[in-house]
Amino acid sequence: MMREQDLIYLKKGEKVTQSGGLSLIEGYIECTTSGRLICFIGPGNIFITSDKLNFKNSIVYKAKCDVILLETSDIASNNSFDAEKKWNDYILTQIFTKFEILYFPAKERFLNILFQIANDIGDQIASDCHVPKILVQRELAEYANCTREYLSIIRKELISDGWITDSKQLVLLDWKRWKRKFGTNI
């Protein structure tokens, strides 16, 4: 049962400061380290903020829009150790994956980042995957470690090659193709 005192409200840009298990009720959370994307967390997902993995607050959880979180005491009780270990393993895997793709050409980095974002928070509609409108081109360029200008060139190529739509909303076309190509990388 959800109690008002267990809810945490964050405005866009505010950081999560609570430790423990949190369930995202509404909105999107960006998880980064040193300004680099680790993952996105969408509604219905549970995540754990922990001092064990978060060396000197190096992992930051930030609201990408207005967010409602629920403190989850379930995680803190029975399966606390297992849930925390599983989350920490996931975060570490994501960090190592991002390190690995830094050596890819910019287009491959961008494709991998798009796949991960869509996988984290996208909605599959028909055969495509729609990403919520919470990102700007500057952020996507930062995630892919390239300039906005170069990202614009890559984006035009991806539109021409049928990977994404030419629209303001980020839509990954033929989601099954994306999963076949990038499903093992992320």
Instruction: Please name each of the domains of the chain with its CATH number.
Output: 7-101 (2.60.120.10), 105-183 (1.10.10.10)
User: What is the arithmetic mean of pLDDT over 33-38?
Assistant: 88
User: Which range is least confidently modeled, 40-49, 70-79, 138-147?
Assistant: 70-79
User: Could you report the per-residue pLDDT of 65-117, keeping only the tens digit for each?
Assistant: 999 999 886 554 556 678 788 888 888 899 898 888 889 999 999 999 999 99
pLDDT confidence band for 35 (50 / 70 / 90): confident
**Mean pLDDT over all residues of the chain?**
88
Closest CA to 109 of 141, 77, 73, 63: 141
User: Could you report the per-residue pLDDT of 104-137, keeping only the tens digit for each?
Assistant: 999 999 999 999 999 999 999 999 999 999 999 9
Q: Are 23 and 69 in contact (CB under 8 A)?
A: yes
pLDDT confidence band for 58 (50 / 70 / 90): confident
The letter for the amino acid at 169 is Q
Residue 186 has pLDDT above 50, yes or no: no
| CA trace torsion 52, 54, 57, 59 (10° rounding) | -160
Distance CA 185, CA 168 (A): 26
